[in-house]
Amino acid sequence: MSTERPEEFSEPQIRGRQASDDRRDSEAAGGPSDNSTRQEATVLVRGETIRNQEPKSANGDSPTRDKEKSQRKEVSEAKAKMQSRLPALDDDADVGVQKEHIVIRDGKADLAFTGKLLASAAPPSAPKGQWQEYRIYATDGGKHVFSKVTRSVFVDQQDTHEADVFDPSPSSVPSQLLRSARDLARSHPMTWMDAAVAFFGYDPLAKTLYRKLSGQFEEHIS
């Protein structure tokens, strides 16, 4: 008599065939397989992740906020006060006063002299945080000093200082060259007013400065 038990082998085979048949029936009916279902779910999850998640920087802010912070410039409190007082300047009270002056020059020695501040001018406002200041001094020795300062309220932008001296006597080589060139082009020797125009030009601020001095800067015609 045989001791084989066919039911122990036939049941797993029947279950395997049923699972395979169920899979084929599902695919034949147009339904998605397990793999495709998982793939679609994964794509959907990834899509939601890309749309909803914004990258963060090391400090926890988004790149947009980091960019906004980097675009903000630090403002000097002292310069902001100077800007708020425009067109008034700190040394307006020194106009016409005999005193010691020091005029700063970038890249050259500063100018120290005794004399008077004849006139100064600044714009009425500086909406972009930058402005210029023009000044003309007269020394006790008969020379004239021209100063142009460009200021900024921002800490990372340094002020710039330009200055020049007009000496009416032909004692220096630059003065001789200027006077000779001017004498060739015009009928009268170069004056300190001619030198001022050569230094400042005729921009609106320079014209404001000239009007504070005299009408001699105007061109008179008949």
Residues ≥6 apart with Cβ < 8 Å to 54: 62
Confidence at residue 203, expressed as pLDDT on a 0 to 100 scale: 97
Confidence at residue 159, expressed as pLDDT on a 0 to 100 scale: 97
More confident residue, 134 or 184: 134
Confidence at residue 181, expressed as pLDDT on a 0 to 100 scale: 57
Confidence at residue 216, expressed as pLDDT on a 0 to 100 scale: 75
64 pLDDT more than 80: no
Confidence at residue 101, expressed as pLDDT on a 0 to 100 scale: 97
Cα separation, 86 vs 94, in Å, equals 16
What DSSP line would sit under 40-75, residue for residue? HHHHHHHHHHHHH-----TTS--HHHHHHHHHPPPB
What is the percent of the chain with per-residue pLDDT over 90, rounded to a whole number? 52
Confidence at residue 31, expressed as pLDDT on a 0 to 100 scale: 53
**Residue 124: in which H helix or E strand, if any?**
none
More confident residue, 86 or 71: 86
Confidence of residue 221 (pLDDT cuts 50, 70, 90): confident
pTM given for the model: 0.64
Confidence of residue 10 (pLDDT cuts 50, 70, 90): very low
Cα separation, 193 vs 186, in Å, equals 14
Confidence at residue 119, expressed as pLDDT on a 0 to 100 scale: 97
β-sheet bridge partners, residue 136: 119, 146
Q: pLDDT for 139-184, tens place per residue?
A: 999 999 999 999 999 999 999 999 999 998 765 545 555 555 555 5
Confidence at residue 220, expressed as pLDDT on a 0 to 100 scale: 78
What is the CA angle 101-104-110, rounded to 5?
80
Confidence at residue 57, expressed as pLDDT on a 0 to 100 scale: 56
Mean pLDDT (the chain) is: 78
More confident residue, 161 or 66: 161
Q: Across residues 86-94, what is the average pLDDT?
A: 96
Confidence of residue 43 (pLDDT cuts 50, 70, 90): very low
44 pLDDT more than 80: no
